Amino acid sequence: MKKFCRVLWVLSFFVLKLSAQKSMTKVSETLQTFPYQHPKEVDAALAAMKTWEKTDWKSFYQMLDDDSLKLKATYALHAFVNNISLSADQKQAAKLNLSKGLKQVKTAYAKTFVQTELNQLTEEGTVSQYLSGLPHPNLKQQADPFYAAKINPTQQLLLAQDLLDAKVNPLTIKQFLNRVSRIPGIASFMVASKYLNDENCSKDAAIVVTRLALTDASIKGPAVKESLMKALTLIKGEDSALLVSGLNKLLKKMPFDYGYQNLFNGKDLSGWKALVGNPILRAKMGDSLLKVEQAKANEKTKGDWIVKDGLLIFTGHGDNLATDKQYGDFEMYVDWKITAQGDAGIYLRGTPQVQIWDTSRREVGAQVGSGGLYNNQKNVSKPLVVADNKIGQWNNFHIIMKGEKVTVYLNGVLVTDNTTLENYWDKSIPIFAKEQIELQAHGTYVAYRNIYLRELPSAEPTAISEEEKKQGFVSLFDGTNLDKWTGNTTGYIVKDAVVEVNPEAQGGGNLYTKEEYADFVYRFEFQLTPGANNGIGIRAPLEGDAAYVGMEIQVLDSEHPMYKDLHEYQYHGSVYGVIPAKRGFLLPTGEWNKEEISIKGSKIQVRLNGTVIVDGDIKEASKNGTLDQKEHPGLLRTTGHIGFLGHGDVVRFRNIRVMKLEEKEKRKEKR
């Protein structure tokens, strides 16, 4: 019996040893991509790590303890944690795994590294160690409800900013930045962005803003892109395994429209001006008179609004401060703080107002709270609940205005719900379609910070002009649907009232008009992303390569450095392979270009931003062979579909309309 048990033990030992060796081989093969990683290889490795069993992780932690193997393991675990942190439903399992790993590893290096990665997923325990060292007693008192999540995300962020502003030491700032990364939204992104220039924690801030942007498509726009470009230069070493590749993809496809802009730079009053009259009075002034009056107002109100310590402050004397630009539909975030007896407000489209006041002023009805539409008479004027923070503390407005309707969240609480804002200046007409935003001056101190706004696309269908209607143009896309199109309708999506190529779905592919066109004038606007490639197919069949079985007019960011060696017939606007286009008329990448393609018989003309860049005859241009020396049977076609020819890059199109030239001739005959 003893002999049998000994044999069984030996067999078990060898089975376990074989299993461990097999596991170590499996783990080693998975980690081969690190540290010299490529995006596709990293994605595959991370996917494999998510399927590892206990024995695999045991082998992994053994590698982390081994000086000769720890480099690959270090890079891999860091990439794994970054990846898991983007998925709330996977974080708990990862926390448990790392906690077990922390008990398993033996070397000081491995213990420190695993604890650091665990901290990225669990901030509560580690941050509490630093709270005890905070010098300000109020911060200690506030810390418990903050980290116990007893307050909503907006209040958490306001508190996080107070803690960050305390600036006790770089290590504590890093911990609170990590907390900010758990609060979704543009406000958190912009708070973290402020630390991209802090040499003590710039790398941490870069990781935070990248994580936030990768997990929230609404975080976009000029202010966002500027911060992410800065972050890209700061993410080094093991962080690059996942974040850099994801960030590069995001930056390439990020929309240029309907994104957040920073209305206050924290340094000066750029983008703001003094108040001149009201919208009705300003409309009656000519441009020259308004310019004169604006100069007078700017001079008169100098010193009434100042910038101090990164805050926009009303000193208590003077008139409203207004944005240089006018806005229609928008979404806005702004922090504000008042003193005792304070009274202020925010004018939307030049009209009063989203109310701000000290709720203790019962004599004027302030007990109802801030955030209501104070000047409404027919529609609701009072907020739904009181959500103000104490006097001297920061508050946050999230204001959404669409059409005549206004929604306001105060400190994360809904206080005004899709309510019509009445026109204070002329109650017989609706609110103005577009006007400036104003910060109200009401004789008491008020401070603002973190003012971010994004314009919203109109919900109304895009209509073509009356002049174009008379000419015979019809709309092929009104900003709401792709009903007049066929082909790869999943590769093109309707987003923010434009047609956007969707690279995640079959690389864009081809989208064609359902109807065929022979001789026509085709007008559209397009917006390129860096290095983007697309095309306009004309007289094309639904099958085959439209550049050859039909014709392709290039849509290309051809001034991008990556295209420095193009053939002349490949630049934007060219009839691909046949007639080259003039160069130098594309607007800077991200701006909307206007293009018109006219074709009648064999005559073709392409006009870009008002300049003719192609004016030729496809028959003449190809009679001795095409420029690219390839067969183009489509040149002989006299009719076909118009299409977008995607190449896997994000390009956006809008204001798409067409006029059949035969219809135009019929109209002339009727006259």
DSSP letters spanning 537-588: EEEE-SSS-HHHHSEEEEEE-TTSGGGTT--GGGSTT-BTTTBPPP-S-PPP
- Last residue of some domain: 121, 150, 177? 121
Asked if 452 and 467 touch (Cβ cutoff 8 Å), the reply is no
Section 132-141 average pLDDT: 40
Determine the distance from the C-alpha atom of residue 510 to the mean position of all C-alpha atoms in its chain, rounded to a whole number.
26
Q: What is the pLDDT of residue 17?
A: 53
Residues 577-595: tens digit of each pLDDT? 999 999 999 999 989 999 9
Cis peptide before 440 (omega within 30 of 0): no
Instruction: For 482, list phi and psi in degrees, rounded to 5.
Output: -115, 35
Q: Specify if 561 maps to a domain.
A: yes
Bridge partners, residue 447, by sequence: 313, 337
Residues 372 and 491 in one domain: no
CATH of the domain at 378: 2.60.120.560
Asked if 523 and 484 touch (Cβ cutoff 8 Å), the reply is no
Q: Specify if 538 maps to a domain.
A: yes
Give the separation between CA 253 and CA 65, rounded to whole angstroms: 41
Residue 312's domain spans which residues?
A: 272-455
- Residue 191 pLDDT grade (very low, low, confident, very high; cuts 50, 70, 90): very high
Query: Which one is predicted more confidently, 112 or 579?
Result: 579
Asked if 220 and 250 touch (Cβ cutoff 8 Å), the reply is no
Query: Which one is predicted more confidently, 466 or 132?
Result: 466
Q: Please state, as a whole number, how many other Cβ atoms lie within 10 Å of the Cβ of residue 582.
A: 16
| Cα–Cα nearest to 440, from 571, 551, 572, 351 | 351
| Cα–Cα nearest to 518, from 643, 655, 664, 642 | 642
| Cα–Cα nearest to 553, from 532, 564, 569 | 569
Residue with tokens 């929230």: 216
Residues 484 and 385 in one domain: no
Residues 371 and 335 in one domain: yes
Number of domains in the chain: 3
Q: Which contiguous run of DSSP H or E holds residue 499?
A: strand 498-501
Asked if 207 and 116 touch (Cβ cutoff 8 Å), the reply is no
Q: Please state, as a whole number, how many other Cβ atoms lie within 10 Å of the Cβ of residue 54.
A: 10
Give the separation between CA 27 and CA 22, rounded to whole angstroms: 9
Instruction: State the pTM of this model.
Output: 0.77
Give the separation between CA 308 and CA 320, rounded to whole angstroms: 18
Give the separation between CA 276 and CA 278, rounded to whole angstroms: 7
Residues 435 and 509 in one domain: no
Q: Specify if 263 maps to a domain.
A: no
- Residue 38 pLDDT grade (very low, low, confident, very high; cuts 50, 70, 90): low
- Last residue of some domain: 455, 483, 517? 455
Q: 3-class SS at 639?
A: coil
Give the separation between CA 464 and CA 475, rounded to whole angstroms: 7
Residues 660 and 558 in one domain: yes
Q: What is the pLDDT of residue 200?
A: 86
Residues 32 and 57 in one domain: yes
- Residue 463 pLDDT grade (very low, low, confident, very high; cuts 50, 70, 90): confident
Torsion of CA 135, 140, 142, 148, to 10 degrees: 140
* Cα separations in angstroms, 657 against 285, 292, 487, 561: 36, 41, 18, 32
Residue with tokens 């001297």: 392
Q: What is the DSSP string of 424-440?
A: SS-TTSPPPSSEEEEEP
- Last residue of some domain: 410, 429, 455? 455
Bridge partners, residue 332, by sequence: 399, 453
Three-state SS sequence of 351-370: EEEEEEECCCCHHHCHHHCC
Q: Specify if 31 maps to a domain.
A: yes
Instruction: For 174, list phi and psi in degrees, rounded to 5.
Output: -60, -40
Query: Which one is predicted more confidently, 11 or 521?
Result: 521
Give the separation between CA 5 and CA 153, rounded to whole angstroms: 61
Q: Specify if 197 maps to a domain.
A: no
Q: What is the pLDDT of residue 615?
A: 97
What's the residue count for the chain? 671
Q: What is the pLDDT of residue 130?
A: 35
Asked if 455 and 412 touch (Cβ cutoff 8 Å), the reply is no
Alpha carbon distance, N-terminus to C-terminus of the chain: 113
Q: What is the pLDDT of residue 15?
A: 43
Share of the chain residues as helix, strand and coil, in percent rounded to the nearest 5: 40, 25, 35
Mean pLDDT for the chain overall: 87
- Residue 13 pLDDT grade (very low, low, confident, very high; cuts 50, 70, 90): very low
Asked if 344 and 439 touch (Cβ cutoff 8 Å), the reply is yes
Lowest mean pLDDT among 125-134, 167-176, 349-358, 546-555: 125-134
Residues 314 and 420 in one domain: yes
* Cα separations in angstroms, 143 against 138, 208, 393: 9, 21, 15
- Is residue 147's pLDDT more than 80? no
Q: What is the DSSP string of 240-274?
A: GGTHHHHHHHHHHH--SSS--EES--SSS-TTEEE
Q: What is the pLDDT of residue 609?
A: 97
Give the separation between CA 194 and CA 574, rounded to whole angstroms: 44
Residues 253-285: tens digit of each pLDDT? 888 888 999 999 999 999 999 999 999 999 999
- Is residue 643's pLDDT more than 60? yes
Q: Specify if 310 maps to a domain.
A: yes
Q: What angle do CA 189, 191, 194 make, to 5 degrees?
A: 110
Around 87, how many Cα atoms within 13 Å sit in the side-chain half-sphere?
11
Cis peptide before 35 (omega within 30 of 0): yes
Q: Specify if 95 maps to a domain.
A: yes
Residues 84 and 55 in one domain: yes
For residue 509, give the amino acid letter.
G
Asked if 148 and 179 touch (Cβ cutoff 8 Å), the reply is no
| Cα–Cα nearest to 221, from 330, 85, 321, 346 | 330
DSSP state, residue 238? G
Tell me which range, 1-15, 198-212, 483-497, 604-618, is most confidently predicted by mean pLDDT: 604-618
Residues 528 and 628 in one domain: yes
Q: What is the pLDDT of residue 141?
A: 42
Residues 448 and 471 in one domain: no
Q: Please state, as a whole number, how many other Cβ atoms lie within 10 Å of the Cβ of residue 500.
A: 19
Q: What is the DSSP string of 134-191?
A: -S-HHHHHHHHHHHTT-S-HHHHHHHHHHHHHH---HHHHHHHHHHHTTS-SHHHHHH
Lowest mean pLDDT among 165-174, 226-235, 454-463: 165-174
Residues 486 and 393 in one domain: no
Give the separation between CA 136 and CA 103, rounded to whole angstroms: 35
Residue with tokens 């202020």: 344
For residue 605, give the amino acid letter.
Q
Asked if 204 and 195 touch (Cβ cutoff 8 Å), the reply is yes
Give the separation between CA 579 and CA 339, rounded to whole angstroms: 69
Residues 400 and 548 in one domain: no
Lowest mean pLDDT among 136-150, 157-171, 583-597, 653-667: 136-150
Q: Specify if 531 maps to a domain.
A: yes
Q: 3-class SS at 514?
A: strand
DSSP state, residue 634? G
